Amino acid sequence: MKKFTQIQERAERRKGGATALKKLLPQVATKKKLAAKGDDRYLAMMTKCINQAGFSWKVIERKWPEFEEAFFGFDPFKLGLLAPEQWEAYTSDRRVVRNWQKIKALQ
C-alpha cells in the first residue's frame, strides 16, 4: 500500500500543483454548518448513497424528488411511526428503488 504523501504528490503532479489540486477539492463544512443541518438531511444523504451503490446514479438523481415524497422528507419521527407492513409496501412503490435490502437500511 502506498503512503498518502506519495498519492498526494502524484495527484499534485497530474493536476498542475498543490494549489490547482486544492481548488478541485470540495469545501469542508464547518462544525457550525454541519450542526445546522437537520437529521432529515443526514438520513436523506445516507439513503441516497445506499441507493446509488450498484445502481445508475442518474436514475437515482432523476427519482430523488419521488424518494423525498415517498419517505416523508426523511423525517426520522414520521418514518419511525411506520408499521412493518408499510415498510414492506415500499417494495412495490414505483417512486423508490424497490429493493428490500436498500429499504430496510433506511428503516
Query: 43 and 82 in one domain?
Result: yes
Query: 16 and 56 in one domain?
Result: no
What would the pLDDT profile of 22-58 be if each residue is shown by its tens digit? Answer: 999 999 999 999 999 999 999 999 999 999 999 999 9
- The number of domains in the chain is 2
Q: Is the pLDDT of residue 107 over 90?
A: yes
Query: 69 and 91 in one domain?
Result: yes
Q: What is the pTM of this model?
A: 0.75
Q: Is the pLDDT of residue 103 over 90?
A: yes
Under the banding of pLDDT at 50, 70 and 90, the label for residue 1 is: confident
Buried b (16+ CB within 10 A) or exposed e, 74-102: beeeebeeeeeeeeeebeeeeebbeeeeb
- Over residues 47-70, the mean pLDDT reads 96
- Over residues 65-89, the mean pLDDT reads 98
Query: 53 and 17 in one domain?
Result: no
Q: Which range of residues forms the domain containing residue 89?
A: 37-106
- Over residues 54-75, the mean pLDDT reads 97
- Over residues 60-74, the mean pLDDT reads 98
Strand segments (E) across the chain: none
Query: 96 and 47 in one domain?
Result: yes
Query: 19 and 43 in one domain?
Result: no
